[in-house]
């Protein structure tokens, strides 16, 4: 199988997965970006970010207690979330186009699925698995964000009140809007429908992932945007 046909097969597998979600009554509410750093792209042999669709059933309410059975290996990543006020259609989308179409920003936490199997993750494997889209937490929207430098927005992750990881949005392709523009243009090249007004866009990990443990309380503290968090059931 050639690289192109393998990529096409992976995209087709993702398409069938999303079709099954829709047939089960789920709704697409947004998109998550993955591999938004050069190091992450190099590890799986690609030169661009990937994406997966988010459904309404994946949302976890801010402050909820979740279950993470021992051995499941769920991880949490702090991410900046864009809320679109206008549609974005490629090709030719730039970061300025993305910012012009953005209605609000939110703090977010993504809880990607574990990559199953013994082999190391590959780009095609991630595509076929919908970029491991699993669960997400989104905080309150902030409509007055235009004065913020979105390339230097800081985030600190706390576990049980103690800082454990930190980062800034420059980790996401220099600026999260660059990552969104890249994916919007890839969607156009693949004949996709583009990104729609009202959708949430999780722009990729700002901080290193934190592995969830039973009894843990996790909080992501975003400069200017506030904090969100979850706890893990002690009986997990």
- Give the per-residue pLDDT at 174: 96
Q: Is the pTM of this model over 0.85?
A: yes
User: The tokens of 92 are what?
Assistant: 């030719």
Structure token digits, residue 3: 């690289």
Number of domains into which the chain is organized: 1
Say yes or no to pLDDT of 163 above 70.
yes
pLDDT digits (tens, 9 = 90+) for 171-211: 999 999 999 999 999 999 887 778 999 999 999 999 999 99
CATH of the domain at 73: 3.90.850.10
32, 110 contact by CB (below 8 A) = yes
Q: What SS3 class is residue 61?
A: coil
For residue 77, list its beta bridge partners: 110
What is the extent of the structural domain holding 120?
Answer: 3-232
Quick: pLDDT tens for 67-126. Answer: 865 556 789 999 999 999 999 999 999 999 999 999 999 999 999 998 876 678 899 999
- Is the preceding peptide bond at 133 cis, omega within 30 degrees of 0? no
Mean pLDDT over each residue of the chain, to the nearest integer:
93
């Amino acid at each position: 199988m050639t690289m192109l046909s393998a990529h096409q097969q992976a995209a087709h597998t993702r398409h069938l997965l999303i079709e099954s979600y829709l047939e089960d009554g789920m709704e697409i509410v947004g998109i998550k970006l993955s591999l938004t750093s050069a190091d992450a792209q190099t590890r799986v042999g690609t030169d661009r970010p990937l994406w997966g669709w988010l459904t309404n059933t994946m949302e976890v309410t801010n402050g909820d207690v979740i279950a993470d059975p021992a051995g499941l290996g769920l991880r949490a990543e702090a991410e900046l979330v864009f809320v679109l006020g206008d549609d974005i259609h490629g090709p030719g989308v730039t970061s300025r186009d993305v910012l012009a179409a953005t209605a609000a920003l939110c703090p977010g936490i993504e809880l990607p699925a574990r990559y199953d199997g013994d082999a190391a993750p590959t780009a095609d494997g991630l595509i076929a698995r919908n970029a491991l889209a699993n669960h997400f937490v989104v905080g309150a929207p902030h409509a007055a964000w235009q004065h913020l430098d979105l390339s230097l927005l800081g985030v600190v992750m706390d576990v049980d009140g103690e800082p454990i990881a930190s980062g800034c949005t420059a980790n996401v392709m220099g600026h999260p809007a660059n990552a969104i523009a890249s994916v919007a243009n890839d969607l156009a090249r693949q004949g996709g429908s583009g990104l729609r007004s009202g959708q949430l866009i999780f722009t990729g990990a700002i901080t290193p992932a934190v592995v969830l443990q039973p009894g843990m309380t996790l909080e992501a503290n975003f400069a200017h945007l506030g904090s969100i968090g979850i706890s893990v059931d002690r009986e997990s």
